[in-house]
Structure 1
Amino acid sequence: MPKSLQPMIRDSATIPPGQEHPRLKLLAANGFTVALLAAAFPLASPAAHALPQFPLAPACSSYSYNSPAMEVAQDNNVTVVVDKSGDFFSGNAGYTQNGSGVWTNGTAVGRISGRNITVDFKWNNGLTTHWDGYIDDDLTARGTAKNSEGAVNTWSSKAKFDCVPAAAPPAQSSGPVNDPPPLDELTATVNADTDLYDKANDDGDAVVIGQLNVGQVVKVQSACSPNAWCFLVEPKGAAWGRDLTNN
């Protein structure tokens, strides 16, 4: 516990009416969250937290509260403050009947888990209080408080929480890619005007089906040999290898 807050815990739970409690200013300066307390006030019917009216967009991965303490308003005109660090409530707390100028000090232990809030208080006047709460879609925390004398009240946070958006899911492809990547195509460049045959002309029975011109690039089945027939894919046919230079 910070040394600056220790005197608050040693103070009496109440002070005479009409006198300003010297720790009230300290409590406000430290931003203590107003904790709920239903101590010695008329019993109020608990109300369930508001049902979500609309989905958060985007969805929240967690919730943050930009203050070292949370302040809460209770339905019986009580204000409570409680130390908060991250998702945990731990440290000093205090409550007051609004307008009385009297603060009762205590300690608190609790946490935020997802949207759910639970906190247990021990007050210097001997009472204890238990909170059950929930962060609604409007980012206001609401819940009920029940003290050790059986009094039950509803509460809501005076400030809203901040939504920490969930990370966007990785983009998925529309479907598996079934087609294999195309193989590298072999090409050759014609280095002399030559005839294109329908097949190898070793037997002298091949038919000339075209003409290849110097500088023309053709696609071949495999690398050409200068002393053999080279078989072309585009244009389709066969030509003597010495007339083609592999690329």
Structure 2
Amino acid sequence: MTVNNRIILKKEKYLMLNYLEKKLDYKFKNKTLLNEALTHPSFQKKSLKDKTTNNQRLEFLGDSVLNLIVTEHLYRKLTSFSEGKLTKIKSVMVSKDILAKWADRLSLGKYIILGKGEDSTGGRNKLSILADCFEALLGAIYLDSGLQKAKKIISSFINKETELIMKGKYGEDYKTLLQEISQKKMKCLPEYCLIKEKGPDHKKIFCIEVRLKKIIYGSGTGENKKEAEQNAAQNALKKLKITK
């Protein structure tokens, strides 16, 4: 259901907000906060009786809440990463591109209340508008229920993004991390050993073990050696309690 930027009937607005709450798995105590989080500055009030304000102040608050949550998450999750690497990863995770992707997972574009002009020029799909709305939504949740609830709501987004980072999407990978850890803590380099290959030539599966000081720390499979090595390194990191 796309928001009609004419006069929105109370019942229609209630249903619209209810759909989004189901996606969030969160029920707002103060529905005004949710409505405000979805209201873009381009939307013009229809009368003096309309008390709706736009989402800029909530966006400002949500930006700070997001930075705190992401910073703490990375600090606790990536215990071996330097300050420089953590800063680099954080900058990616709070970027407009990532926030817009998270907003898209919630289909926020369907619920944003836009001015007629902005709506007609594709505002619902603009990265900046989606990202700002996501931050405003987080700010609204923070005001409605506090920091812990805000953390819980976005934990799945952050955890998934961290996994992508660890798999090499943003310049880090399990093999590199394992090498850094093993050099630092065990004064050795990982050794990857091909254990077996199975399946037909056109669809082989490779099985690889990774050893540190001749002790097996993990094994992994993959459709090529590189993938199998990454999976083996990931399992080794789990054994070392670096990742979950």
Q: Do Structure 1 and Structure 2 share a fold, with TM-score over 0.5? A: no
Instruction: Sort the TM-score into its range (normalised by shorter chain).
Output: under 0.3
TM-score (norm 1): 0.27
More strand by share: 1
Q: Which has the larger radius of gyration?
A: 1
Structure (1 or 2) with the greater helix fraction = 2
